[in-house]
Structure 1
């Protein structure tokens, strides 16, 4: 049998769980952002140490959006597979494939 307070208890339970979910989401976002920032800093430092002798190629790569440029660097300079890149960037393999194809197409058009 339900008590007269059952709806109130249910409401408090829903609110409590919503607050817990929001705090977990914020904590997860902080962790993901920190990991992503650390990864981008690591990638930028690796790219900076590479010797690109072709200035024209550097200029073309600089015109690409950051994600497409990073995918090209990871594939062609560091030798990662698309699956490895998807794990490192935390995005689906299909998206890595699309970014790769789009970057190559953009470079071909220039």
Structure 2
């Protein structure tokens, strides 16, 4: 079966992921069929955090490829406008700050 998943790259303690289409029997970072984009969880400032070619992704889903849970959540994030994404990240930060304040 073909699966759309993340392949880890980057340096030690500084991960960088590629969104890839691969046979599920292949290793996580092994041979892949096609690269659809990337995800940089440690992006800051003006660095691009996420890029996914949604047209190619939809083509592969139409061909029967399965999508991993993490890639599904990234696709939802990619469909958000920059304002919605900023509001979501701010809400997440406010929640974690409130939790830290409650512990102190």
Using the size of structure 2 for normalisation, the TM-score is 0.26
The structure with the largest alpha-carbon Rg is: 1
Identify, as 1 or 2, the structure richer in strand: 2
Higher helix share goes to which structure? Answer: 1
